[in-house]
Amino acid sequence: MFSHLLPEFIVERRDDRCIRCRACERQCSFEVHRYDEELDRMFSDEKRCVGCQRCAVLCPTGALIVRPHPGEYRRNANWTGERIQDLKKQAETGGVVLTGSGNDKPYRIYWDHIVLNASQVTNPSIDPLREPMELRTFLGRKPDVLELRFNGGDYEDVEIATELHPNVMIETPIVFSAMSYGALSYQAFKALAMAASEYGTLFNTGEGGLPRELRKYGKNAIVQCASGRFGVDPEYLNCAAVIEIKIGQGAKPGIGGHLPGEKVTLPISVTRMIPEGTDALSPAPQHDIYSIEDLSMLIYALKEATNYEKPVSVKIAAVHNVAAIASGMVRAGADIIAIDGLRGGTGAAPKIIRDNVGIPIELALAAVDRRLREEGIRNKCSILVAGGFRCSADVVKAIALGADAVYIGTPALVAMGCTLCQKCYTGKCNWGICTQDPYLSRRLNPEIGAKRLVNLLRAWSLEIKEMLGGMGINAIESLRGNRDHLRGVGLEDWELEVLGIKGAGE
C-alpha cells in the first residue's frame, strides 16, 4: 500500500561540511541515511526519520541539522497534523497506534504553577555547602508509638521493644522508576543498577526480572511482581531491598504490557524465564487481584515469601478515586504506595491510552496525602510518586505536598542519551537504551551511563539542598507534607483546594 504519511522531520545536510564519512549512515537504525557511491553523495529518506538527533550529535563536522518538517496540512485547530497522521496510519495498518515515553499533550503542569518559599529576616536560611543538610529518607511502615524498655534508671541502656516493620534507607529522595530489562537494553539496565548502588538509592527492575549476575545489586533493587510474574522466583524476591506489586502505570492505566516475541532474545528469556521468541504478555490485571482484599492477599503472600524482611510497595496509576484506593492499599498491608501520574513514561503504550487516561500526579499526591492524614494512617506507609518529574524543584514541591520520595524515569534515560523521540516501542533506539539489538545497545557503556546517572543524582541533590537551605530547613523530613512552603500562581480555587495550598500573596 502506498503510504500517505508526511515525513515528520527534515534532514538538512550542509554539503560543504559533509566529508562522506558515512557515520550518520552507520548510526541510524531507521535507515534514513544512504550513501550513493556513483554520485559520491549522501541521501536521506526523511520519511523514516524519528528526530532522535543521534546523527546530528555524532556527525564529526556538524553537517547535519534535523528539525521538524516544515511541510504542513492546512491549519486546523480540531484536525491537527497529529490527528491526521494517526488516522492515516490506522487506515494503512488497522491497528492500535503505539507510542513511547510520557504523555506529551498540554495538560496543565501544576509544578509550574507552584512556587517555593525562602527565609527572609524572621528565620535564617542555611548554607548547604558548609552546614549539614540531610536528605536521608526511610521507606516503609512506621509504628505509631515506640515502646522502649529501660534497663536501669539512667536511660543509658535502652532497648526497643516494638517490633519494627522493615524500612529501607536511601541517601536522597530520588529513586529510579521501574524500567524492565527487555524494555531497556542490558547496558542501560545495568547502568541504573550501578548508579543506584553507588549513590545509595534504589533502582526498580520493572517486571522483566533481574539477571542473575546483577543480583549483587539486589540491596539497591526494588523488584517488581507484576501481572506477568516474569522472572519471579523465591530467590529474586529475597535478594531485593523492596518488593513492588505493580498494579498500574501512569502512561497506561488499566492496560497490560506486551514485549513482542522478537525482543525476547536468549538473555531476556533467561531472565524472564520464558521461552525465547514468545510474546511476553503482561495481563492488564493481576489475575489473583480482582479487589482490595485480593491485593491484601498478594501483599501478605509476598511478605510470607520473604519472611517479613522486606517492605512491600504497591504501585498504581493515578486515577479518579486514587485517594480512596490508596487508603485501601495501606489498610491492605502496603508499606509503600507508589503513584504514577498522567505524565508517566512507558516503553510502549497505546497512544490513545497514554494521552487520555489518568490524572496529574500533583493532584493525586495532594489528595492521597490528605486522605491518609485524615484517616490517621499516613505514617503507616511511605508515598513514592512518579510521572513526569523534570527537575529537582519538582521533587522539592512533591515532598512538600507530602511525598516521601520521587521516582524518576525519563530524566535518567535522558541522562544516558535519550532525546524523547518516543520510538521506544520500535526497539531501534539509536542511543542503545531501549533496544535489544546488540549492535545498538553496545553504544551505551554501562560504566559511562552510570557515571552520568550518578552525576544527575548529585546535581539534583545539591539543588535540593540549596532549596531546603533557603527555606531554613536542614533535614528533608521537615519539608515532608509542609505545604506552608508552597503557594499557587495562576490556579483556580478548586485546584488550590485539591492541592491544599494557598495562592501566592495569601
Partner 1 sequence: MVEYSIGGLRDMFLGNVRRLKEILKYAKISSDVAEIDASNLVHKEVNDLMRYCALQGVRRIVLKGVRGQRYIGTRLYFPDPRPKLEIEIHGFPGNDLGAFLDGHRIVVYGNAQDGVGNTMDSGEIVIYGQAGDVVAMSMRGGRIFIRDDVGYRTAIHMKEYRDKVPVLVVGGTAQDFFGEYMAGGRVVLLGLNLDDKPHRARYIDTGMHGGIMYIRGRVEPWQLGKEVGIVDMEAEDWKFIEKHVGDFCEIFGIKEDEVLGGSFLKLKPVTKRPYGKVYAY
Partner 2 sequence: MSMAGMDVRRVRGGARGMRRERLPDKEHQACGLFGVIDRSGRRFGGRVAIEAVMNMRVRGNGLGAGFAAYGIYPEYKDYYALHVMFQDWDLDAKREVDKFLEANFDIVCSEEIPTNPEAPVIDPPLIWRYFVMPHKKGEERRLSDDDYVVKKVMHINTKIENAYVFSSGKDMGVFKGVGFPEEIAEYFMLEKEYRGYIWVAHSRFPTNTPGWWGGAHPFCILDWTVVHNGEISSYGTNKRYLEMYGYYCTLLTDTEVMAYAIDLLMRRQRLPIEIVAKILAPPMWDHIDIMDERQKRLYTTLRMVYAPLLINGPWTIIVAHHGEMFGITDRIRLRPITAGEKGDLLFVSSEEAAIRAVCPDLDRVFTPMGGEPVVGRLKSREKELRRRAEEVV
Binding site for partner 2 (CB under 8 A): 144, 290-294, 296-297, 300, 321, 323-325, 327-328, 331-332, 373-376, 493-494, 497
Q: Which of 6, 104, 300, 474 binds partner 1 (CB under 8 A)?
A: 300
426 binds partner 1 (CB under 8 A): yes
Report the candidate in 99, 421, 93, 440 with the shortest Cα–Cα distance to residue 265: 440
> Maximum distance among all alpha carbons in the chain?
94
Strands (E), 347-389: 349-350, 382-386
Which of partner 2, partner 1, none is residue 328 near (CB under 5 to 8 Å by kind)? partner 2
Residue type, 312: V
- Residues 353-365 as b/e (b if ≥16 CB within 10 A, e otherwise) read bbbebbbbbbbbb
Q: Does 213 bind partner 1 (CB under 8 A)?
A: no
Burial class (CB in 10 A: 0-12, 13-18, 19+), 395: buried
How many Å apart are CA 61 and CA 321, to the nearest integer?
A: 54
C-alpha dihedral sign at 58, 59, 62, 63: negative
Q: Which residues of 10-29 are buried (b: 16+ CB within 10 A; e: fewer)?
A: bbebeeeebeeeebbbebbb
Stretch that binds partner 1, among 153-161, 376-384, 450-458, 495-503 (CB under 8 A): 376-384
296 near partner 1, judged by CB under 8 A: yes
270 vs 504, which CB is nearer to partner 1? 270
Cβ-based nearer residue to partner 1, 228 or 469: 228
Contact status: 421 vs partner 1 (CB under 8 A): no
Selection from partner 1, partner 2, none that 277 binds (CB < 5 to 8 A by kind) is: partner 1
Q: With respect to partner 1, which residue has the nearer C-beta, 172 or 227?
A: 227
Rounded Cα distance, 239 and 235, in Å = 6
| Shortest distance (Å) from residue 336 CB to partner 2 | 17
Q: Is 237 in the site for partner 1 (CB under 8 A)?
A: yes
Residue 238 binding partner 1, by CB under 8 A:
yes
- How does DSSP classify residue 5? P
Point out which span in 10-18, 190-198, 370-378, 495-503 binds partner 1 (CB under 8 A): 370-378
CB 492, min distance to partner 2, A: 10
For residue 447, state whether it binds partner 1 (rule: CB under 8 A). no
234 touches which of partner 2, partner 1, none (CB within 5 to 8 A by kind)?
A: partner 1
Residue 165 DSSP symbol:
P
Span of 180-188, 267-275, 334-342, 387-395 interacting with partner 1 by CB under 8 A:
267-275
Q: Does 285 bind partner 1 (CB under 8 A)?
A: no
Residue 87 interface partner, choices partner 2, partner 1, none, CB cut-off 5-8 Å depending on type: none
Helix 361-374 and helix 392-401, axial crossing angle in degrees, nearest 10: 30
Residue type, 228: G
Pair 451, 458: CB distance under 8 Å: no
Give the Cα separation of 252 and 317 in Å (integer). 8
Of 147-155, 257-265, 408-416, 494-502, the segment contacting partner 1 by CB under 8 A is 257-265
Among 80, 93, 120, 321, binds partner 1 (CB under 8 A): 93
Q: Which of 49, 98, 312, 342 binds partner 1 (CB under 8 A)?
A: 98
Q: Taking CB under 8 A as the rule, does residue 235 contact partner 1?
A: yes
Q: Which stretch binds partner 1 (CB under 8 A): 28-36, 184-192, 283-291, 478-486?
A: 283-291
**Coil/strand/helix, residue 347:** coil
Q: Which residues pair with 282 in a beta bridge?
A: 257
Taking CB under 8 A as the rule, does residue 82 contact partner 1? no
3-class SS string, 219-245: HHEEEEECCCCCCCCHHHHHCCCEEEE
In one-letter notation, the amino acid at residue 109 is I
Q: Can you give the binding site for partner 1, defined by CB under 8 A? A: 89-90, 92-98, 144, 225, 227-229, 232-235, 237-238, 258, 260-261, 269-270, 273-275, 277-281, 283, 287-288, 296-297, 300-301, 304-305, 307, 330-331, 333, 350, 374-377, 380, 425-426
